[in-house]
Amino acid sequence: MPKSHDYRYTELDNGLRIVTEYMPAVRTASLGVWIESGSRCEKPGQEGMAHFWEHLAFKGTKTRTTHDIALDLDILGGLSNAFTGRESTCFHIRVADKHFEKAFDITADLVLNPTPSDEETAREKEVVLQEISMMEETPEDKIHETFWEHIWDKPSLTHSILGAPETVVAFDRQNLESWRAENYLPSNMLVAAAGAVDHDQLVAMAEKAFANAPTGQRPPRPESAAYLPNSIAIERDVEQNHVILSFPAVGNKNPKRFIQTVLSIVLGGNMSSRLFQEVREKRGLAYSIYAHINGLSDVATLQVQAAVDPARTAELLEVLAAELDKLAAQGVSPEEYEHTREHLQGLLYLGSESTESRMMRLARNQILFGRHIPFEETSKNIQDVTRDDIHSLAAEILTPENRGMALLGPHLKPEWTKIIKP
């Protein structure tokens, strides 16, 4: 193995991409098999299939029972999981280097050879239906999902990753297999690994494992969507009112993403941010308030979220409106500018010591940009953001007409919307 960090990329004849980063002085490796299909790749009636296949993969393969899978993963002593997003599905595992080959064998088996029985499929429908119920009963999740449905103009983007009860119940073997055959193709997959990993060895393992995988053209990428600054209210008998504000932002491939990231941190990304200081520290209006970018490859929103005593909801909204107007009008101070960039630099390099973080970063950069992006390049992009950049973006997007708002709680008042959108 090389003695220093080494990034390598190989594309097999069937279109499977393999990207690795060797990290010296570590004895673990993180592996991810990524399928570039998520909930955005579902047509009407298919809502929830990407997520359902993530579940079904662990319910038996051609050579392993459900118990075999659990036992094999436990014996490795590593950390294994999977997740489904709107644009991709990922099966990932972190193990000691001596178990890497076995870890790849299991993960590839889950991706390539799921053969759940009818009984397992029916049982897993019940599990997913419970997951949907949990989301509906959790205020933070419910407001996020419902709001997301109302701020985009394309149904393929708006539906829940989990699907809806009626679509999950209607899944059958034929339509499930049809969706999987269209999306689980080597040309639509990426294998990423970071840590104590040998690139050539991984390529050889992948060539063998994927040799008989069905080939075909990658499915077409879903159409983009336009942001809608809508307002919604969800009456719910809960102790607090939950509030989300949204603003238009650029997708994860846009060069302006660094400016909006700095803006979101200034607004509510850490304990010294404007909203945390004004809302929590000075006024005690909310235990938790934060701003973040909720982004996909081509679209995104900047969102502010808080939970507040119903009796103080109007006060919270007035403070939020005032802080948004102030930031749009005046921009950021030199002190805010400097410590926010330093904060982001720290986050960037803290993640560099984790094999899992580096694997995730490696994969996402390959998927989004088709190349490895060094930490130094990202660091420079953060450093290159100017105060004028931040002020200009704030003035552009933090306007009343761009503000979407979601409220969830008891006894919601229509006039509250006018505080945010006068």
Q: Which residues belong to the active site?
A: 54
SS (H, E, C) 208-273: HHCCCCCCCCCCCCCCCCCECCCEEEEECCCCCEEEEEEEEEECCCCCCHHHHHHHHHHHHCCCCC
Q: What type of residue sits at position 283?
A: R
Contacts of 172 by beta carbon, 8 Å cutoff, 6+ apart? none
Q: How far apart are CA 264 and CA 268, in angstroms?
A: 6
Best CA proximity match to 138, nearest among 234, 271, 71: 234
Q: How far apart are CA 358 and CA 90, in angstroms?
A: 15
Beta bridge partners of 183: none
* Beta carbons of 29 and 109 less than 8 angstroms apart: no
Ranges of beta strands (E only) in 111-202 are 189-195
Phi, psi of 202 (to 5 degrees): -65, -40
Helix (H) or strand (E) holding 183: helix 173-183
Beta bridge partners of 193: 20, 31
Helix, coil or strand: residue 156: helix
Phi, psi of 231 (to 5 degrees): -125, 135
